[in-house]
A = this chain, B = another copy of it.
Amino acid sequence: MDETFGVRLRERIRALGPLCVGVDPSRELLESWDRGDTVEGMEFFARAALEAVVGTAAAIKPQVAFFERFGSEGYRVLEQLISDARDADVLVVADAKRGDFAVTNAGYAEAWLAERSPLRVDAVTASPYLGVDALAPLFTLAQENGRGVFVLVATSNPEGRVLQRARTPEGERVEDLVLRSVAELNNRNDGLGSFGVVIGATRDAPEFDLAHLGGPYLVPGVGAQGASAEDVARLFTRCPKNTVLVNVARSILNVGPERAALRDAARRWRDDLNQALA
């Protein structure tokens, strides 16, 4: 692709607003939709969620864990969702949180970012426990193919804070080390880079200045997890316009399978986020 993921995402947010809808077919959610916790129930759920957000959400974020519950059959549903979203011109961020050492990350890069893969998406989330540098194969293939990577920095759940705020011998927090490393990757290139970070809206600002990332932000924690549109606005107040992608999942999908109700819920969140981040 000619355009980078960073540029495509910014254009999409400019046109539609910052809403990303999490497609999370958990057992609880499928049961509450009353279609059965089965592959068929999941297919129905994925199709309904996508249809309800076309033209409203900049992106969807399927949570790979919930598809993986059904093994290869669940992955087939995920492949179909990804392909349907591509046809409907909705960006897809696969929430896979993959991360291994470099030789193995080459495998994950092929899975999520290679043109030949049935799982190829616009961007994938990655976990830096084995080091940001070990994620290099993901960065390289993303760059080559106009795709992106969002690296976990400061997650929305409380259990991660002790680790993410531990300090290196140089006195830098882990979350700041990851942020700085991703910023360095972006700043080797001109314009908006394609390497983003995941920062929970429930978190305080890191010590590293978020405005210097040079790439997009993926922000969970809004809605069912407790943060509001205003919390997001506060955290990213000085960041470049149209670079913040805000994920909302349960607060929209909890309304159940009725299409009009789903569409209304998505639109309300889009409007709230647009207003708060304007």
Residues of chain B lying within 8 A (CB to CB) of residue A107: 26, 63, 65-66, 68-69
Q: Which of A129-137, A189-197, A255-263, A265-273 participates in binding chain B? A: A129-137
Q: Is the CB of A131 within 8 A of B26?
A: no
Residues of chain B lying within 8 A (CB to CB) of residue A27: 106, 110
Q: How far is the CB of A242 from chain B (nearest CB, A)?
A: 27
Q: Mark A68-84, 1 if CB is under 8 A from B, else 0.
A: 11111111101100000
Count of residues in A whose CB is under 8 Å from the partner chain: 64
Is A127 interfacial (CB 8 A cutoff)? yes
Q: Which of A8-16, A93-101, A205-213 participates in binding chain B? A: A93-101
- The residue of chain B having its C-beta at the shortest distance from the C-beta of A178 within the complex is B163
- Counting every copy of the chain, the complex holds 2
A105 to B69, CA, bound (A): 11
Q: How far is the CB of A78 from chain B (nearest CB, A)?
A: 8
Q: Which of A124-173 contact B (CB under 8 A)?
A: 127-134, 152, 155-169, 173
Residues of chain B lying within 8 A (CB to CB) of residue A177: 162-163, 166
Residues of chain B lying within 8 A (CB to CB) of residue A275: none
- The residue of chain B having its C-beta at the shortest distance from the C-beta of A166 within the complex is B166
Q: Is the CB of A163 within 8 A of B131?
A: yes
A106 to B25, CA, bound (A): 12
Q: Is the CB of B129 within 8 A of A163?
A: yes
Contact of A104 (CB < 8 Å), options: B65, B98, B129, B178: B65
Q: Is the CB of B155 within 8 A of A130?
A: yes
Residues of chain B lying within 8 A (CB to CB) of residue A165: 168-169
Contacts A97-B100, A159-B133, A162-B131 known; A105 to B65 CB distance under 8 Å?
Answer: yes
Contacts A97-B100, A108-B65, A110-B27 known; A160 to B72 CB distance under 8 Å?
Answer: no
Is A103 interfacial (CB 8 A cutoff)? yes
A127 to B105, CA, bound (A): 14
Is A119 interfacial (CB 8 A cutoff)? yes
Residues of chain B lying within 8 A (CB to CB) of residue A167: 166-167
A37 to B128, CA, bound (A): 28
User: Can you show 9 pairs from A to B with CB atoms below 8 A apart?
Assistant: A63-B107, A65-B105, A72-B79, A99-B127, A102-B157, A131-B161, A134-B160, A163-B177, A166-B173
For the complex of A and B, list the 6 residue pairs with the smallest distance between their C-beta atoms, beginning with the closest: A131-B159, A65-B107, A72-B75, A166-B166, A71-B118, A101-B157
11 extra interchain contacts, Cβ-Cβ under 8 A, other than A65-B111, A102-B159, A130-B159?
A: A65-B98, A71-B111, A72-B72, A72-B75, A74-B111, A129-B163, A129-B164, A130-B155, A131-B157, A131-B162, A174-B174
